[in-house]
A and B are shown apart, each in its own frame.
Chain A
């Protein structure tokens, strides 16, 4: 038991981070599942984190309410900016969401209430491991249900071919907005949990680099199933810890992984179809059939 306590004292922060990153990767998975490449999810996380932290610090709301508010605030923002932004497609959408992220970061950096560049300090540590686990499990369950629902299939149809989806009578704009907003809710939740597990937040944690990190995790894991993003988040969070001996060069490994995946594993690490084929091939060989 003591060994476990030691382990927990050393690694709890890391484990928290894995969970929060997994939640973020799932939030991007949701937007990507509708074919939208959004670089706004880091900003949504930031909005959630700041909303939650301010409510706790100034109004002393109970934690569950804080979490709900942290999820809803970015969702409201996503609804407002989504309607005009989501008319853009492909790279234009990526650029617009990038610009939105930058505006958000600079605003947070300069506003009085957000504490400027120093950020917010002394946020009580209310997040526990089971909060993260529960929310992650609930999100995973909800997304798994969503995939098989009418809405999930509509997302997939839009991703594959927008014109064809429209011809089938799918409300393309409405579904895109839904995917974008639901993604913002998950990102906001991750932000609220993060703010209450790190004691301190600053604008630096929600910039372009973080948007890229979330993207890398999701792409690395692969978007063909829900396991992919979680796997990607876990690997990319733990890897820098394992690579400490590389010092300044350790981020280069992340970059190389991203390039390698794009070049050699376009569907990501966890591709359910490829896995099924592998398992199938292995079984056939073992049973000695042709």
Chain B
């Protein structure tokens, strides 16, 4: 039935949007396709799981742990790898290849530390309440997921729009050189962007981990591909585009799985992505950018 599917689609779509927001932020500011964003997603999920099961901390602490661990990993990748490549003015594809290497390292480390089997959050920690609106059952968990995702996204929008740092960041996105001439601490904001984006990715990982109650070292790969689809759908580096693209992909995927074919849902997303790239390389909602790279 349609209403129930729409609830699922909204839940999934808001997490896709949250994930893609960080991905597109890094592209907009650093001009790097950061393929380690999926690993941040996975790391956030494992960080929260570890804190919750080993330290018996409440779920709220788990969310903070996800943000912190993923954020620091993102920061480390930027400081250790991307920063050097920026200093060398390496062509666009080089940092992308380096982030593939970082992903391999992190995934392999997670497999070594946690094993390859699916891990689950303890049931007693998850909110069990269900709200019933007419014929639609909404789990409290789903409400929380949508709530957290939108809370974080709104915060990011407000920060980018109204704070000094946000304006500085947008200036960098236009032109890092001009921003540096205006006395903006470009390197510092690059690092801050990498931290924020990775932290958002980590929370998205935790939310998906909770929603399906499954955490594995390889969970970052499919979402990374979807993040790429979303970002291209919305226009690379376009923050609002990531929000709409994420929701759109959530709906497209859930509805095509429900009404077309359960396995072909993923193909729909990528088929769409492929077509959009051919017709409008700047994205569905994106202005027609000059093609960089």
Contacts and interface: CB of A to CB of B under 8 A. Distances in A.
A256 B278 CA distance: 34
Interface in A191-235: 208-209, 212, 215-216, 219
A146 interface: no
Interface string A120-139: 00000000000000000000
Nearest to A249: B112
A219 B112 CA distance: 26
B267 interface: yes
A96 B94 contact: no
A216 B106 CA distance: 16
B156 interface: no
Interface in A219-255: 219, 247-252, 254-255
A247 B105 CA distance: 13
Contacts of A94: 33, 93, 96
Interface residues of A, number: 42
Majority SS of interface residues in chain B?
A: helix
B104 A254 contact: yes
B87 to A, nearest CB: 11
Given A94-B96, A96-B274, A252 B104 contact: yes
Interface stretch (A5-13, A22-30, A48-56, A85-93): A85-93
Contacts of B232: 92, 95
B118 interface: no
Contacts of A96: 274, 277-278
Interface string A252-269: 101111110011001000
A247 B108 CA distance: 10
Q: Which of A107, A110, A252 has its CB near the most chain B CB atoms (within 10 A)?
A: A252
B97 A100 contact: no
B293 A95 contact: no
Interface string B208-241: 0000000000000100010011001000100000
6 contacts: A91-B236, A92-B277, A248-B115, A250-B108, A254-B104, A255-B108
Given A249-B111, A255-B108, 9 more contacts: A88-B281, A90-B291, A91-B93, A94-B93, A99-B273, A110-B264, A252-B112, A255-B104, A262-B98
Closest 6 CB pairs of A and B: A90-B293, A255-B104, A258-B101, A255-B105, A252-B108, A259-B101
Interface of B: 33, 81, 84-85, 88, 90, 92-94, 96-98, 100-109, 111-112, 115-116, 221, 225, 228-229, 232, 236, 261, 263-264, 266-267, 270-271, 273-274, 277-278, 281, 291-293
